[in-house]
Structure 1
């Protein structure tokens, strides 16, 4: 990926992280490919900077959450929390399949620069280790706290993608992410 493209994607990521839709639909970058087969703006496979940043950061956020969710069956005292963790995990796995396909279509680098990056809603390995040291109600409190932060940030990022993204498949997935995160957040009410 060219330096210019990474710079645009990086700038869009900063805007996404701070809740701004600074990367408007006019900031469109096509992923380099054969000139004869380049997708047209607004068509499937034509990724803007916001699309690229959203795909990478959502992959990282989903992957970093999974180890925490994996602790629920053996650490949670609440059947509702265990069920929610299993549903969130299944949904995130499904999203990851689509996100990885988009990642490949966009020809993004194999190393994700956002993996392990401290940011709102990103579950860190240290947080998973701390959660692993708890059981029962204490674990449930930690899981719910991290899950809520993850879901809320996921909604914000998906909203930015839906407003400023240009690639149709990516925008469609962002709409699905907003809806699913909203449903999961509603189930956390009162917890």
Structure 2
């Protein structure tokens, strides 16, 4: 339990922006030796849940881009991001199931840096064209930057090999997408 609390605190410390109180810690999910396949530490568990929530909350914003956006390049990037995040969710949900995490995600809807909120999606729904593109790029940049920070924490403190490998892919992808998003800022 202590390791999970430390992991959640470590993930939360990735940004200086105040965030909601962390959820109750979850115990590691296997009796196998730390670092062996199937062993999930507290950081692994927290990262899986947080990343699932962040990815799920981003998708409704990305779904607006084809009908509300103006820039064809941003539309193409958002389509790539949507497809990639949906694929990432498949991998995250498989890890979630292997870790035997609860069905209800304590991070879903939690206001935190980089989390696209329903209010932000509603705000984006009300605008079109260049103003929409500016808004989307701002939220997308925050999401991608926080995703890198969280995945770096997983890389440093996670113990489950497949989870750490996914975090490395997340870091690489989000850094690449950040570079692409800067073109539209």
Would you call these one fold, judging by a TM-score over 0.5?
yes
Alignment correspondent of 1:163: 156
Give the CA deviation at 1:18: 1.4
CA distance in 1, matches of 2:3, 2:36: 19
SS in structure 1 of the partner of residue 166 of structure 2: helix
CA contact (8 A) 2:68 2:127 kept: yes
Alignment correspondent of 2:171: 178
1:62 aligns with 2:60: no
1:118 aligns with 2:111: yes
Alignment correspondent of 1:97: 90
Alignment correspondent of 2:127: 134
Alignment correspondent of 2:41: 48
CA distance in 1, matches of 2:6, 2:33: 23
Q: Deviations over 1:3-37 (max 9, x none)?
A: x3xx64344222212128xxxxxxxx6415xxxxx
TM-score normalised according to structure 2 size: 0.89
Equivalent residues in 2 for 1:144-163 (5 A)? 144-163=137-156
Alignment correspondent of 1:76: 69
Unaligned ranges ≥5, structure 2 = 16-26
Unaligned ranges ≥5, structure 1 = 21-28, 33-37
SS in structure 1 of the partner of residue 176 of structure 2: helix
CA distance in 2, matches of 1:30, 1:129: 37
Larger Rg: 1
Q: Deviations over 1:27-85 (max 9, x none)?
A: xx6415xxxxx433211110010000000000000000000000000000000110111
Number of residue pairs matched? 173
CA contact (8 A) 2:28 2:45 kept: no
CA contact (8 A) 1:10 1:53 kept: no
